[in-house]
A and B are shown apart, each in its own frame.
Chain A
Amino acid sequence: MFNFAFNSFYEAIYMNGHGIYVWSVLIIVLFSLLVFFTVYQYKIKKIKEKLDEFN
């Protein structure tokens, strides 16, 4: 079940020509998650700073 599906690292990247599709989707998903987590954490930080100022 946990056998590496490729013969080399290059093969894993290339994936018989499908690597460009698979890895680009992975980048889009991880980038979207990272942006959303960063933006919300930043918004909370900003609003906390504002509330601190009022206090």
Chain B
Amino acid sequence: MIKKFIHQFASPKTFLLQVDKFYGLIFFTSLCIYIFSIIWGLLFTPEDFVQGNSFRIMYLHVPASFLSQSLYIAMAVSSATYLIWRVKLAAYFVIAIAPIGAMTTFIALVSGSIWGIPTWGTWWQWDARITSTLILFIMYLGLISLHNSFSNYEKADKLLSWLVIVGAVNIPIIKKSVDWWTTLHQSASITLTNKPSIDPVMLYPLIGTIIGFFGLIICLILISSKNQIFIREKNKSWVKDYV
């Protein structure tokens, strides 16, 4: 039943038609939410008592960090879907997400480093959270390079999917690094189980930036996947008709 459901909704043609239908709506809604929340966070929230105005980097750093890990999980789920049910679209997603994951991880690392200068007095520290995030960034780059080095797409997809699943072990390490080891990086202010330790005045714009950034990244994944479909299925008659 699951197999039937996946195959019904995961045909590249159906996907492209759905993307065309919803892309504009998702893009403009996310852009409005993101711009509104960024202005709210950067200019209309009070200064932090301890960190001063540098805490405002949070509105740019946290969404990128959150997405850098979430995108890897999405890649791992897509990889498993491809390996178990042989869904082509899932394999396209894996390689479509990888550069975007690298970009969000890069933003998380750079924004964290810049935030570290006024807050910690250093832009880099080999602590568990920062090092494991750097490893995630290197993994993204490695996976992209590996996929590009193959001329046979099917072999590349299989190998990439296995490597993504194996590499997923890094995600709980990143997440738990601040609890397992003594790190310069603070522990999570927002968790699913506890009440947020951040004031609502600062929290609401943060939630807005996370939602807005998430929506924009979804849009990037949609157009990146569309690009992958065109590359892989260019010889199919439906693609010629679609174009």
Within 8 A of B (CB), among A1-44: 1-6, 12, 15-19, 21-22, 24-26, 28-29, 32-33, 36-37, 40-41, 43-44
Q: How far apart are the CA atoms of A52 and B234 in the complex, in Å?
A: 11
Q: Which partner residue on chain B sits nearest A1 by CB separation? A: B201
Decide if B54 is an interface residue (CB 8 Å cutoff): yes
Mask, B68-112, CB within 8 Å of A = 1, is 000000000000000000000000000000011001001100110
| B138 part of interface (Cβ distance < 8 Å) | no
Distance (Å) between the CB of B195 and the closest chain A CB? Answer: 19
Given A25-B60, A25-B115, A36-B103 in contact, is the A52-B243 Cβ separation under 8 Å?
yes
A interface, CB within 8 angstroms of B: 1-6, 12, 15-19, 21-22, 24-26, 28-29, 32-33, 36-37, 40-41, 43-44, 47-48, 50-52, 54-55
Residues in B lying within 8 Å of A, measured CB to CB: 38, 40, 42-47, 52-54, 56-57, 60-61, 64, 99-100, 103, 106-107, 110-111, 114-115, 117-118, 201, 204, 216, 219-220, 223-224, 226-227, 230-231, 234, 239-240, 243
